Amino acid sequence: MNHRPFEDWLLEETPLSPVQQAELEAHLAACPACRALAEVNLALHTARLLDPPPGFLERFQKRLAVERAAKQRRTFFGWFLLTLGGVLLLLWFAWPFLAGELSPLKAAGEVWVTLVNLLVSLQVFLRSAQTLFQVVPDFLLGALWLTLLAALGLWGSLWALSLQKFARLTQGVSR
């Protein structure tokens, strides 16, 4: 039995003329394979969309609330770790200068000034980091975060070091 062009008509679902339609119907009466294809076509064309089970939207809203809480927790811990890392890095770079200055009492005032300078530098560093991370998409990899953190920490340390040296220079001039 020659299935062409009947099979092509059924697969392509081309509109048929009345003569072609009559030929197809005659063929379908004799060909089980093409009749099966025609029945599948009919079933596919009469298929309907299904409604989700009742309460679908309410269950989704609960899941969304859980997702939102998880995202807020991730953001909070991300900022906390970033800030902690920055502070520790700054302290690590500034410690040699701080350690020498802490013991003599007469240098307490200089230490206080240095600390204030460091805090101001830290504040500037945090503000810069906050601005930077507000524009960086959430999907940055952890490794990239650490790299950025280290770079910002280094910049903050250099800033603190230059302020420290400037403070010493001005003291040297005034003496």
Partner 1 sequence: MTEEQAWIRRAQQGDEAAFTRLVEAYQKPVYSLCYRMLGQAEAAEDAAQETFLKAYRNLNRYDNERPFATWLLSIAAHHCIDQLRRLRFLAFSLDSGEEGQTELPDRFAPDPETEAVRQQDNERLHHLLQTLDPLDRAALVLRYWHDASEVEIAQALRLTVPAVKSRLHRARHLLARRWAEETPHLHPERNAYESPAF
Q: Which residues bind partner 1 (CB under 8 A)?
A: 1-3, 11, 31-33, 35-37, 39-53, 56-57, 59-61, 63-64, 67-68, 137
Whole-number minimum distance, CB 129 to partner 1, in Å? 22
Q: With respect to partner 1, which residue has the nearer C-beta, 63 or 106?
A: 63
Residues present in the chain in total? 175
Q: With respect to partner 1, which residue has the nearer C-beta, 75 or 128?
A: 75
Q: Is 88 exposed, middle or buried (CB count within 10 Å of its CB: 0-12, 13-18, 19+)?
A: exposed
Whole-number minimum distance, CB 147 to partner 1, in Å? 23
Q: With respect to partner 1, which residue has the nearer C-beta, 4 or 106?
A: 4
C-alpha 7/C-alpha 37 separation (Å) is 8
Whole-number minimum distance, CB 82 to partner 1, in Å? 22
Whole-number minimum distance, CB 139 to partner 1, in Å? 9
CB-based contact 21:13 (threshold 8 Å):
no
C-alpha 83/C-alpha 101 separation (Å) is 25
C-alpha 91/C-alpha 107 separation (Å) is 19
Q: With respect to partner 1, which residue has the nearer C-beta, 27 or 125?
A: 27
Whole-number minimum distance, CB 28 to partner 1, in Å? 11
Q: Which two tokens stand for residue 85?
A: 């890392």
Q: With respect to partner 1, which residue has the nearer C-beta, 97 or 133?
A: 133
Q: Which two tokens stand for residue 113?
A: 């000034």
Q: Could you give the angle at which helices 142-174 and 56-102 cross, rounded to 10 degrees?
A: 30
